[in-house]
């Protein structure tokens, strides 16, 4: 039986890698354009250089070695969504923005699980055997470990290792969820820019290439993910290109929010939390 009420989704494929601040601005713009009328955007993108992204309310001093990032040329951005630190590098990043509660329900946990199931369909088409994770240790929930240190409840794992890390923001019937799907390991960069202190997070995550035993490309992985999501939700994806007015609005968000050092390094004000 069909899950989706609104059958046509718009899909944005950013094949050209973008800066961290611009990637976050595009996601933010898509979320802002949603109204009470059912609408869904699906986006796939990548990053022009290794970039650390912080969860909305994380204290940067506790989770990021800023000096190491600067020495290694790694960017730092703060997301509009919650969750924990992610190092974006050699990955597929997805975002899904929607106001369609018929397809996704009105709760964070239910929509999170449904999106995971759709992503799993794409991974299965690649030849993988993913499953949904159970509740992580309480130390992970309360602590400052990076996102890929443990799979959270209803996140996707393969052979007990996390393969997708996601975060969500909701406002009434509207939500955005975006996440990281590693294509290859980050070659120790994560430990170089965080305060892991011996934590072996690399042992708890797995990339698509590692899971398949062969190197795969961004385009190859996205093709399977799109196929799986389309099949799961029984929807038609319509390519979307931003017009001049939309591009101007996105650049405004980038400049005022995601290139603003007060936002990136200071985080949201107390009144925003």
Does residue 97 have an active-site annotation?
no
Distance from the Cα of residue 262 to its chain's centroid? 23
Strand order across the 131-132 sheet: 131-132, 156-158, 161-162
User: Residue 166 burial (CB < 10 Å; 0-12/13-18/19+)?
Assistant: buried
Per annotation, catalytic residue among 86, 147, 176, 211:
147
Letter string b/e over residues 61-97, b meaning 16 or more CB atoms within 10 A of that residue's CB: eebbbeebbeeeebbbbbbbbebbbbbbbbbbbbbbb
Closest CA to 32 of 177, 176, 180: 176
Separation between Cα atoms, residue 229 and residue 43, nearest integer Å: 12
Sheet strands (E) in 139-267: 156-158, 161-162, 165-171, 174-182, 236-239
By the 8 A CB rule, do 30 and 43 touch?
A: yes
The helix (H) or strand (E) run that includes residue 44 is strand 40-45
Residues designated as active site? 147
């Amino acid at each position: 039986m069909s899950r989706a009420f609104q059958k046509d989704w718009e899909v944005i494929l950013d094949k050209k890698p973008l800066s961290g601040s611009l990637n976050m601005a595009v996601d933010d713009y898509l979320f802002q354009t949603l109204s009470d009328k059912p609408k869904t955007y699906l986006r796939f993108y990548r990053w022009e250089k290794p970039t650390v992204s912080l969860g909305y309310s994380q204290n940067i001093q506790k989770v990021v070695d800023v000096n190491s990032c600067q020495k290694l040329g790694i960017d730092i951005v703060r997301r509009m969504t919650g969750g924990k630190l992610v190092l974006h590098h050699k990955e597929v990043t997805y975002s899904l923005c929607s106001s369609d509660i018929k397809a996704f329900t009105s709760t964070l946990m239910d929509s999170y699980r449904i999106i995971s199931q759709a992503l799993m369909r794409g991974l299965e088409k690649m030849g993988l055997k993913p499953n949904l994770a159970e509740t992580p240790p309480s130390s992970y929930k309360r602590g400052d470990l990076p996102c890929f240190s443990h799979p959270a409840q209803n996140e996707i794992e393969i052979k007990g290792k996390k393969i997708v890390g996601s975060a969500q923001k909701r406002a009434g019937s509207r939500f955005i969820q975006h996440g990281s799907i590693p294509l290859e390991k980050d070659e120790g960069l994560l430990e170089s820019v965080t305060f892991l202190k011996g934590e072996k997070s690399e042992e708890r995550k797995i990339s698509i290439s590692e899971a398949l035993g062969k190197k795969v490309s961004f385009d190859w992985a996205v093709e399977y993910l799109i196929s799986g999501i389309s099949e799961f939700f029984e929807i038609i994806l319509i390519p979307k290109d931003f017009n001049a007015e939309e591009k101007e609005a996105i650049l405004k968000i980038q400049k005022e929010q995601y290139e603003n050092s007060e936002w990136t390094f200071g985080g949201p004000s107390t009144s925003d939390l």
